[in-house]
Amino acid sequence: MIRKFQFEAGIYESLNCLPMAARRKLDALGIKVHLAQWEQFGRGERLMICHAPADTEEERSALRTFIEELAISRTGSPAQVLPEEARQSAYPPAHPPLMLVQNARACGVELDGERWAALDDDQRYALIKLGDAKKASHNLEPALREFLTRNSQQDSSSQPKIALH
């Protein structure tokens, strides 16, 4: 099962781009699938990538092989191998990055250490991907609202978490 966030609800039906949970999984695997490659994968293949387990080394190895072979067969080019630093982005830091804090503040949200600590790793990963750049994504504000309001956090936390090791 894939972790679904409300702020990206529109992509789950079509899977026209990678959901955050799949992006985090690919980062942990050390693989970058470009949007042009993703768009050439069939719906079933996209679903497989999104829903495939990646908890054990054996599962990660199998999924990595599947994606590498799929990228070559569908697009003629391999998936990009990520450097170690990019792989580590799948495991969010204990404190929010300064650029993310500044972008959250621009959205009217104070993202301090206490609020950051209350988030799970999937939520932290999503916020970093959306807001740890000079120009924040248009989805940063909806994600902040979803993750930092009491009711949304309870709803979101009932979803399964991605276990990455």
Among 87, 112, 132, the domain boundary falls at 87
Q: Are residues 114 and 66 in the same domain?
A: no
Residue 164 belongs to a domain:
no
Q: Are residues 65 and 110 in the same domain?
A: no
Q: Are residues 63 and 98 in the same domain?
A: no
pTM of the model: 0.87
Please provide the average confidence, as pLDDT, over all residues in the chain.
91
Q: Are residues 80 and 25 in the same domain?
A: yes
User: What is the C-alpha to C-alpha distance for residues 18 and 74, in angstroms, rounded to an integer?
Assistant: 17
What confidence score (pLDDT) does residue 147 get? 97
Residue 165 belongs to a domain:
no
What confidence score (pLDDT) does residue 149 get? 84
CA-to-CA dists, residue 30 to 2, 17, 53, 85, 164, angstroms? 19, 18, 15, 10, 12
What is the average per-residue pLDDT within 6-18? Answer: 94
User: What range does the domain containing 34 cover?
Assistant: 6-87
Among 54, 87, 120, the domain boundary falls at 87
Q: Are residues 17 and 81 in the same domain?
A: yes
Residue 30 φ/ψ region, left for φ over 0, alpha for ψ in the -120 to 50 degree band, beta for the rest: left
Banded model confidence at residue 164, pLDDT cuts 50, 70, 90? very low
- Residue 157: pLDDT above 60? no
What confidence score (pLDDT) does residue 150 get? 59
Residue 120 has phi, psi (to 5 degrees) of -90, 170
Percentage of the residues of the chain whose pLDDT score is greater than 70 = 90
Q: Are residues 133 and 98 in the same domain?
A: yes
Q: Are residues 63 and 10 in the same domain?
A: yes
Q: Are residues 82 and 94 in the same domain?
A: no
What is the average per-residue pLDDT within 149-163? Answer: 48
Domain tally, the chain: 2
Among 87, 121, 141, the domain boundary falls at 87
> What tens digit of pLDDT does each residue of 25-68 get?
999 999 999 999 999 999 999 999 999 999 999 999 999 999 99
- Residue 120: pLDDT above 70? yes
What confidence score (pLDDT) does residue 1 get? 78
What confidence score (pLDDT) does residue 151 get? 43
Residue 38 belongs to a domain:
yes
Residue 162 belongs to a domain:
no
